[in-house]
C-alpha cells in the first residue's frame, strides 16, 4: 500500500534519489543538497502552521511511502502562492493580425509576451513517481491527493490552481526552445539555466530575457514545433489533469516551452466529486477502489484502497490496515473519491 504523508528531514536521501532519477528539465527537483534540505525545512514549517486563513509563502511537499518496506516511491507538492518572494515568469501566447486592405494582404502571427501573470496563484508541482512504482493506482494517488487536500482545506490555497508541465528535451538535457533563446539572448545552456532556476537564482532571467514580445515565426522551426508540447514522461500527468478540467490558456514555460494548465479550484473534478464520510473499521468484501485522505493537515495522510460506502448513513467501511495508514479511528471523518 502506498501512503502519502508530509515530507520530513529524514527523507532527504530519498528526495535526493528522486531528484537524480527525474533527470533534466525537472526544475523543482534540482540535484542540490542545500536547496533540497531547505525545501524540506520550508515544508515542515508550512505544515506546522496551525492557523492559515489565506495562501502565503507556504510550500507543502509530500512523499509516497510503501507501507510494507518503508521505501519512498515518489514525491508531490503544492505551492500555496507563487511569485511573492521569488518572481514567477511565463510566456503568454497571443495573436495579432497584420493586414493591408490596399494590398489585399493579411498575416496572422503569434507573439510570446514575457510576464508574471500567475503571481499569487497556487501551483501543484514536483510530481515524480519512481519507475519501479509506476502501475496500479500509485500515479493517480500521488497526483490527486493534492486535489483532495485542496478540497478539504480551501482556505490555504488560491482560487486559481495551475501546473507547469515539463516541456520537450532529450536525454542530454537539450531543449529546442531554449536553444533558440540561448543563441540570441543567453550564453548558458538549458541544463545550467534549469539548475539556476531550481536553486532560486532567477536574476539572470530578468536581466537577459527580451522585454519586448517575440514573434513566434522568427523562432527556429525546431523551437516552434515544441511550443505547448510536453515531455514524453509527462504525458500521463497531463492527461490526468485534463480529465480534472485543467486547460492551457496559452501560457508556456520560458525555458522549454511546455504548457501551463490551470483550473478554478472549485471546478476541479476531484474537488467537486469527493465527499466526506464517517469511518467504520471492519473487514469487508467490497471490490470498489477509492482514494482516501484523513481530514487533518499537519498529519495529512492519503492512500488508495478498497472501501464500502453507505450513502444513506454517510459512512464508509475501511479495513483496519487502511485506518492505521490514515491515522483514523471509528467515527473520524475521511474524504473519499471513487477511482
pLDDT cut 70: percent of the chain above it: 92
Cβ atoms within 10 Å of 57's Cβ, excluding its own? 14
> Would you call 231 a catalytic residue per the annotation?
yes
The answer to whether 89 touches 37, Cβ cutoff 8 Å, is no
CA atoms within 13 A on the CB side of 185: 20
Cβ atoms within 10 Å of 17's Cβ, excluding its own? 15
C-alpha cell at 188: 548558458
Average pLDDT over residues 313-338: 97
Q: End-to-end CA distance of the chain, in Å?
A: 15
Long-range contacts of range 170-173, CB-CB < 8 Å, 24 or more positions apart? 171/23, 171/24, 172/24, 173/23, 173/24, 173/25
Q: What is the pLDDT of residue 31?
A: 85
- Structure pTM? 0.89
Q: What is the pLDDT of residue 20?
A: 92
Average pLDDT over residues 256-282: 97
Q: With b meaning 16 or more CB within 10 Å and e meaning fewer, what string describes 289-313?
A: bbbbbbeebeebbbbbbebbbeeee
Closest CA relative to residue 129, chosen from 64, 194, 186, 221: 64
Rounded to whole angstroms, the Cα distance separating 94 from 237 reads 26
Task: Give 33-91 pLDDT, tens digit per residue.
Answer: 988 999 999 999 999 998 899 999 999 999 999 999 999 999 999 999 999 888 888 99
User: In which residue ranges of the chain is CATH 3.40.630.30 found?
Assistant: 2-90+115-270
CATH homologous superfamily of 2-90+115-270 = Gcn5-related N-acetyltransferase (GNAT) (3.40.630.30)
User: In which residue ranges of the chain is CATH 2.40.40.20 found?
Assistant: 274-338
Q: Which residues pair with 335 in a beta bridge?
A: 276, 293
Choosing among 1.10.20.10, 2.102.10.10, 2.40.40.20, 3.40.630.30, the CATH entry for 274-338 is 2.40.40.20
Identified catalytic residue from 42, 92, 231, 267: 231
Amino acid at each position: 500500500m502506498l501512503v502519502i504523508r508530509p515530507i520530513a528531514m529524514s527523507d532527504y536521501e530519498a528526495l535526493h534519489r528522486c531528484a537524480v532519477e527525474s533527470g533534466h528539465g525537472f526544475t523543482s527537483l534540482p540535484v542540490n543538497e542545500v536547496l533540497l534540505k531547505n525545501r524540506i525545512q520550508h515544508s515542515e514549517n508550512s505544515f506546522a502552521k496551525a492557523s492559515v486563513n489565506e495562501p502565503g509563502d507556504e510550500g507543502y511537499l509530500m512523499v509516497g511511502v510503501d507501507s510494507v518496506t518503508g521505501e519512498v516511491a515518489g514525491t508531490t507538492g503544492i505551492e500555496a502562492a507563487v511569485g511573492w518572494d521569488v518572481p514567477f515568469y511565463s510566456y503568454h501566447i497571443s495573436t495579432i493580425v497584420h493586414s493591408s486592405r490596399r494590398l489585399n494582404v493579411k498575416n496572422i502571427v503569434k507573439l510570446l509576451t514575457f510576464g508574471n501573470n500567475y503571481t499569487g496563484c497556487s501551483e501543484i508541482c514536483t510530481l515524480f513517481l519512481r519507475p519501479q512504482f509506476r502501475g496500479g493506482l500509485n500515479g493517480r494517488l500521488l497526483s490527486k491527493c493534492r486535489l483532495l487536500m485542496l478540497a478539504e482545506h480551501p482556505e490555504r490555497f488560491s482560487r486559481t490552481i495551475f501546473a507547469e508541465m515539463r516541456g520537450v528535451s532529450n536525454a542530454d538535457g537539450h531543449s529546442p526552445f531554449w536553444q533558440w533563446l540561448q543563441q540570441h539572448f543567453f550564453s548558458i545552456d538549458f541544463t545550467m539555466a534549469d539548475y539556476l532556476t531550481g536553486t532560486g537564482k532567477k536574476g539572470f532571467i530578468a536581466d537577459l530575457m527580451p522585454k519586448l514580445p517575440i514573434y513566434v515565426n522568427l523562432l527556429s522551426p525546431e523551437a516552434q514545433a515544441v511550443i505547448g508540447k510536453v515531455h514524453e514522461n509527462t504525458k500521463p500527468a497531463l492527461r490526468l489533469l485534463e480529465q480534472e478540467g485543467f486547460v492551457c490558456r496559452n501560457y508556456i514555460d520560458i525555458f522549454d516551452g511546455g504548457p501551463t494548465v490551470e483550473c478554478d479550484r472549485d471546478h476541479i473534478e476531484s474537488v467537486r466529486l469527493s465527499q466526506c464520510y464517517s469511518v467504520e473499521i471492519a473487514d469487508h468484501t467490497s471490490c470498489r477502489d477509492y482514494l482516501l485522505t484523513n481530514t487533518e493537515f499537519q498529519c495529512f495522510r492519503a492512500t488508495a484502497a478498497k472501501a464500502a460506502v453507505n450513502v444513506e448513513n454517510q459512512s464508509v467501511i475501511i479495513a483496519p490496515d487502511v485506518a492505521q495508514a490514515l491515522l483514523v479511528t471509528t467515527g473520524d471523518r475521511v474524504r473519499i473519491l471513487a477511482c
